[in-house]
């Protein structure tokens, strides 16, 4: 049981490039989410999904796209990277959509946009 | 709007000393309350959570937290800090609704002096 996995661990992009951050969970969790972590700002919710085929925006969705074609995977796409997107990105999953349940976090992806 | 405030960005304590990390929240009703810990280069791990009932909750690694409704606070405590407790600590609130979303505070970095 690997839990929540994220790839890559580190990535450097040039402004305007696109890329996809991968997230997968093997716990059959219904709810998945993406956060970004910036110094002094804690974690901010980017997008979340309450099940396959269902996604919604969080607090800071601009510049990011998501899709949820399977229960296991929840990739985050940057269509045209900007320096403001330099951050550490965390994927998380819940057993079900209620925030009663513990969120399990992946190890993070550190992204630098030059 | 929901919000979480951790007034102390950085705290230094001596090993063996007691610890209290502050957390204040703003929410229309009693939310679900969480404390997470993030060790350097790692994802977040749940320390403890409060949903209802006894206002003093016990967590892992010897931590406890007390929910005080009148003060809208959920402070984290530990009687005797160990060097391995050095990490960043996040308080979070979740709505008592079917969304699964969490709102995080800015985080408090704990440094432990030998």
Task: Look up tokens 């513990």; give the residue.
Answer: A102
> How many angstroms separate the first and last alpha carbons of chain B?
41
Contacts of A92 in chain B (CB under 8 A): 44
Rounded mean pLDDT of chain B? 91
Contacts of B84 (CB under 8 A, 6+ apart): none
Mean pLDDT of B90-112: 86
Mention every residue, 6+ apart, whose C-beta is less than 8 A from residue A43: A35, A36, A37, A90, B44, B90, B92, B102, B104
Higher-confidence position of A1 and B112: B112
Q: Does B59 touch chain A (CB under 8 A)?
A: no
pLDDT at B51: 87
Out of B6, B101, B106, whose CB is closest to A99? Answer: B101
Q: Average pLDDT of A99-106? A: 80
**CA–CA distances in Å: residue A111 to residues A6, B4, B6:** 12, 26, 26
Average pLDDT on A32-43 reads 92
Q: What value does the mean pLDDT take over residues B94-113?
A: 84
């Amino acid at each position: 049981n690997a839990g929540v996995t994220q790839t890559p661990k580190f990535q450097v992009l040039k402004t305007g490039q696109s890329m996809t951050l991968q997230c997968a969970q093997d716990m059959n969790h219904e709810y998945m989410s993406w956060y970004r972590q910036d110094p002094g700002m804690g974690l901010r919710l980017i997008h979340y999904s309450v099940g396959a085929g269902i996604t919604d925006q969080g607090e800071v969705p601009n510049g990011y796209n998501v899709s949820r074609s399977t229960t296991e995977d929840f990739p985050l796409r940057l269509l045209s990277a900007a320096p403001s997107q330099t951050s550490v990105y965390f994927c998380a999953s819940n057993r079900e959509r209620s925030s009663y349940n513990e969120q399990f976090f992946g190890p993070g992806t550190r992204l630098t946009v030059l | 709007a929901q919000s979480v405030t951790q007034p102390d960005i950085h705290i230094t304590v001596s090993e063996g000393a007691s610890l209290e990390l502050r957390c204040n929240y703003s929410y229309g009703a009693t939310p679900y309350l969480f404390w997470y810990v993030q060790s350097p280069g790692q994802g977040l791990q749940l320390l403890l959570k409060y949903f209802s009932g006894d206002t003093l909750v016990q967590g892992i690694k010897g931590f406890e937290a007390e929910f005080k409704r009148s003060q809208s606070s959920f402070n984290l405590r530990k009687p005797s800090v160990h060097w391995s407790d050095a990490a960043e600590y996040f308080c979070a609130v979740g709505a008592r609704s079917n969304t699964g979303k969490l709102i995080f505070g800015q985080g408090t970095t704990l440094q432990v002096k030998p």
